[in-house]
Structure 1
Amino acid sequence: MFETRRIRTRVLLQVLLTVLVVPFVFPLVAMVQGSLKGAGWANYGTVLSLPLLPGFFRNSAIIAAAVIAIVLVCTMTAAFGFSKLHIRGKEFFFWLLLACLTLPGVVLLAPLFATVTRVGAYNSIWAVILPVAALQIPFTTLLARNFVDGIPNELLEAARVDGANTVRTFWYVLVPLTRPIMAAILVLVFINSWNEFLLALLFLQTPDHQTITLVPQYFVGQYNNDQTKVLAAAVLTALPVVIAYIALQRYFERGLAAGALK
């Protein structure tokens, strides 16, 4: 076991962490440097002057907010049911849910496209919201259930003794105690939903419904391939995610650590 009080150990840990971080930081630095080549900051001005940009931001924000709401409601109710309620065959359904984690998203594109076109949701933001939310729920349910397992059953039994039904027990007892893991899930789902590209590219065809992740395609075409504008658009797309993570970093780490310990 490492003794972090020693200077030598701290130096070794610092070197190890630096080596692990460099592969992730290098592409970000290269992206920012590439976005400033040629016209420099004027590249960002060109991207910001795109008339459709505010609509792209709005659509991405709507999709992210809707996905977060759906995932939080489904995840917390599912975690409560799998962990604290007596439901016949719940372990079978839980492992069936976890089996969905083994399916890559690309495999689901064909059936998703067929389903979306059949129900008439093609070229609407719901064609992105519902699949993205569904793909998030198995993993977030796993995180939330591990956290809920650590909540003493005596608290829930005391609420029932006081006359609270299942809904009131969930809302007034479980939800306040699970705020750390809910914060972690919120950050995780926001990052994934804001950065969604493949489903948005497949299902959103008109600019009125497209998201911010599709902005770079407006600077790439048959006779135009301005990589500096593409990189500038990528930087602007990533800024909300970076800001949100920095602002909620401590809640995200606290929630994941609490879920792991529990």
Structure 2
Amino acid sequence: MLESRRLGSRIALQIVLTILVVPFLLPLIAMVGGSLAGAGWGNYLAVLSVPELPLFFRNSALIAVTTIVIVYAFTMLAAFGFAKLHIRGKAAFFWMLIAALTLPEVVLLTPLFATVTSLNLYNTYWAVILPLSALQLPFTVLLARNFVDGIPDELLEAARIDGASTWSAFWYVILPLTRPIGAAIVVFTLLGAWNDYLLPLVFLVDPSTQTITQLPQFFVGQFSNDQTKVLASAVITAIPEVVAYLCLQRLFERGLSAGALK
């Protein structure tokens, strides 16, 4: 990690970092300030009194946790294969996967709808979980592959000499060493799954299956548009993401810095 020992350099670096953070901090301050306008903390009490709020949290948590498990499992396996295994044509497969990063969610909505209805998954959690997982995988595999590629091959060779199979080497060598990038994958996947608005809106028509992103709709209608409560809903919705990041912050930063250096 870069460190500056001169006082002037540290002050200059602190000023530059503060200037870079301000554009990202101002919208958060405006959101929290707007949520306290008017009725103040009463806006939060109004949001917390919505009867469907626990159900929305449960549905979002179920979708997010399942998506994280699927993305983490497939990402680690794919990263191990792309980085350490000798597979014919793996470079072509990797770049085909990366090309999927250029496909936005809106463009895929029509074929996804046709696929979901043909598989009888419409209005089920899987109609959201599977597309979300597929959309997250290209980016997470890109991050994890660079990280796994930095693990010395000598560790895997030593495991093979000791009689470990490919699966054992993956389970006992690769997975323990990839916890930092795993934390980054968990955070990014949580953000994508928890904040997704379009897929639940299209594929989950039953109110009992709706997610937390539908909460602001209770305060926006034909004859009402209470933006203070909408902002309070946004603050409450963001709390699980903030808690998850704070819990995984150290591993998250290590994983991203290691992947970037590679």
| TM-score, length of structure 2 as denominator length | 0.95
**CA drift at 1:261:** 2.5
1:130 equivalent in structure 2 = 130
- What is the identity, as a one-letter code, of the residue corresponding to 1:86? H
Aligned-partner Cα distance in 2 for 1:39–1:114: 45
1:74 equivalent in structure 2 = 74
**CA drift at 1:35:** 1.0
2:158 equivalent in structure 1 = 158
Answering whether residue 217 of structure 2 is matched by residue 217 of structure 1, we say yes
1:84 equivalent in structure 2 = 84
Sequence identity, in percent? 67
| Aligned Cα root-mean-square deviation (Å) | 1.4
Count of matched residue pairs: 261
Aligned-partner Cα distance in 1 for 2:82–2:99: 15
**CA drift at 1:3:** 7.8
Moved more, 172-181 or 156-165: 156-165
Give a deviation string over 1:98-154, Cα, whole Å, max 9, x none.
111111222111111221122121121111111111111111111111111111212
Aligned-partner Cα distance in 2 for 1:127–1:17: 42
1:240 equivalent in structure 2 = 240
Moved more, 248-257 or 161-170: 161-170
**1:59–1:211: 8 Å Cα contact kept in structure 2?**
yes
Aligned-partner Cα distance in 2 for 1:162–1:32: 57
2:41 equivalent in structure 1 = 41
Moved over 4 A (4+): none
Gapped regions of structure 2 (runs ≥ 5): none
Aligned-partner Cα distance in 2 for 1:152–1:18: 37
Quick one: structure 1 residues 114 and 182, their matched pair in 2 at CA, closer, same or farther if it must change by over 3 Å?
Answer: same
**1:147–1:178: 8 Å Cα contact kept in structure 2?**
yes
Moved more, 49-58 or 182-191: 182-191
Gapped regions of structure 1 (runs ≥ 5): none
1:32 equivalent in structure 2 = 32
**CA drift at 1:7:** 2.7
- What is the identity, as a one-letter code, of the residue corresponding to 1:254? R
Give a deviation string over 1:157-180, Cα, whole Å, max 9, x none.
222222222111111111111111
**1:101–1:139: 8 Å Cα contact kept in structure 2?**
yes
**1:3–1:9: 8 Å Cα contact kept in structure 2?**
no
**2:57–2:211: 8 Å Cα contact kept in structure 1?**
yes
Moved more, 74-83 or 199-208: 199-208
Aligned-partner Cα distance in 2 for 1:177–1:250: 15
**CA drift at 1:204:** 1.5
1:20 equivalent in structure 2 = 20
Answering whether residue 69 of structure 2 is matched by residue 65 of structure 1, we say no
**CA drift at 1:20:** 1.4
